[in-house]
Amino acid sequence: MPLDVDLQAVWNFATALLIGALLGIERERHKREHDEQTIGGLRTFILFALIGALGGWLTLALDSPWILAAALLASLAPVLAGYVISARTQPDALGLTTELAAVAACLLGAMTTLGYRELAVGLGVAVAAVLAYKQPLHGLVQRLDREDVYAGLRLLIATFIVLPLLPDEPVDPWGALRPQSLWVLVLLISSLSLVGYVATRLLGARRGIPLTGITGGLVSSTAVTLAFSRQSRDPAYAGAAPALASGILLAWAVMFVRVIVEVLVVNRALLAPVLVPFATMATTAAGAALVLRRRATSQEPTAGVPLRNPFSLTAAAKFAAFFALVLLVVKLVQTYAPGHGVYFVAALAGTTDVDAITLSMAQYARSGSADVAVQAITIAALTNTVVKTVMVGALADAGLRRPMLAAAALILAVGALSLALV
């Protein structure tokens, strides 16, 4: 008579044992490396996961939640006993990481037999990663200052408190301003800038010029242009003009790519026509940066770009107000002055910021002309590039000014040609 084996239950128990083994291997390694006396290693964690799995299985089989509660209490007793013993024998090495990992192993084991096996596997891997990457995580915390923590909290407030409170209906007679949708786009821009800022902080205070250009370009290509132009006048960077120029051009290339990403998120249908001018300009800027980098005689470190954490509720509110103004003006021009008025608005907005006009025109293209939207975004980017070129011409040393003016002229020519072909 063949055995009636529940293969699903067997697979669930096997998964629980593997999760326990994963966590146990990491704790065993940690215990040997640090010569610590903790509650257990590989075998103990496997048993913790098995207790949780048995508790979950019996709870379903007997329809009694108290069985799982009893199993969790049974696993908690040795954890508490082990902590008390460790506190008495090693009072200077107190910590709850291993004890909490054991409780997590038990709960994850229960999840595998309660119908959440895939989630339990994902969480098990996450717990193992948190345990294994102790030093990098502590190093990250050491790099953060109080302002970084406050900025992170403000971003969470803006995302999970402010966003749900905003109305999702138009609040103006022309139907241009939807506060919730507008705030989502503000969070998108803030998140992109925050990614660049975090990458810059993780790379350290004395970064290479190319890396500074790339990561700084995510925060603000204008800030990179301003900082490197001023640095070029410092005698310490007298021979670094090609390297500084390559850093500025990389920041510009990142700005062009950033526009593509924003369009992809807001209006994917506009991506194909936007790729033509912006991929061309990004490639031209990156190619010029590569040529100039090869001319650099050394790999001098730069003092970096003085970037502050880019997210604050005040800055987000200011960008939201500017973005709303651009949206409203574009809508009014579309309604009362159709034709080339949108291009004038794009050129004016591009003197200070490309993100706002990019997002507004990406939304405009949902009901308006895609060609007009692409041309307006390109005009804004070209205007912004002209402004940064003027900045280089006014502030940079002659050694940086000459290659930058030549590269900027090439980028502008390529962008204008792409604009004519759109």
Residue-wise pLDDT for 282-298, tens only, equals: 999 999 999 888 876 54
Least Cα distance to 217 among 191, 197, 241, 245 occurs for: 197
Q: Which of 101, 132, 163 is the last residue of a domain?
A: 132
Examine the domain organization and report whether 90 and 201 are in the same domain: no
- Token pair 């980098």: residue: 293
Residue 221 corresponds to which tokens in the numbers above? 């290509």
| Residues 97 and 160 placed together within one structural domain of the fold | no
Q: Cβ of 4: how many Cβ atoms within 10 Å?
A: 5
For residue 310, pLDDT over 80 is answered with no
Q: Specify the residue for token string 């002229």.
A: 409
Cα 410 to the chain's mean position, in Å? 31
Kindly state the helix (H) or strand (E) to which residue 178 belongs, with its residue range. none
Residue at a domain's end among 62, 97, 132: 132
- The residue among 132, 167, 200 that closes a domain is 132
Tell me: do 275 and 397 sit in the same domain: yes
Residue 103: other Cβ atoms inside 10 A: 16
Q: Identify the helix (H) or strand (E) that includes residue 309.
A: none
Closest among 107, 48, 52 to 79, alpha carbons compared: 48
Answer whether residue 225 is part of any domain: yes
- Contact in structure between 110 and 71 (CB atoms under 8 Å): yes
- Which region holds residue 31: left if phi is over 0, alpha if psi is between -120 and 50, else beta? alpha
| 157, 105: one domain | no
The reply to whether 283 falls in a domain is yes
pLDDT attached to residue 4:
59
Domain that holds residue 91: 7-132
pLDDT band at 301 (very low <50, low <70, confident <90, very high): very low
Q: What is the pLDDT of residues 188-214, one digit of tens each?
A: 667 756 665 666 566 543 456 677 788
Instruction: Please give the DSSP secondary-structure letter assigned to residue 339.
Output: T
Please check whether residues 114 and 156 belong to one and the same domain. no
User: Is the pLDDT at 215 greater than 60, yes or no?
Assistant: yes
Residue 296 sits in the same domain as residue 336: yes
**Averaged over 104-112, what is the pLDDT?**
91
Q: How many domains does the chain have?
A: 2
Q: How far is CA 57 from the centre of its chain?
A: 40
Does residue 81 fall inside a structural domain? yes
How large a percentage of the chain has pLDDT more than 90? Answer: 21
pLDDT tens by residue, 359-379: 888 888 888 788 888 999 999
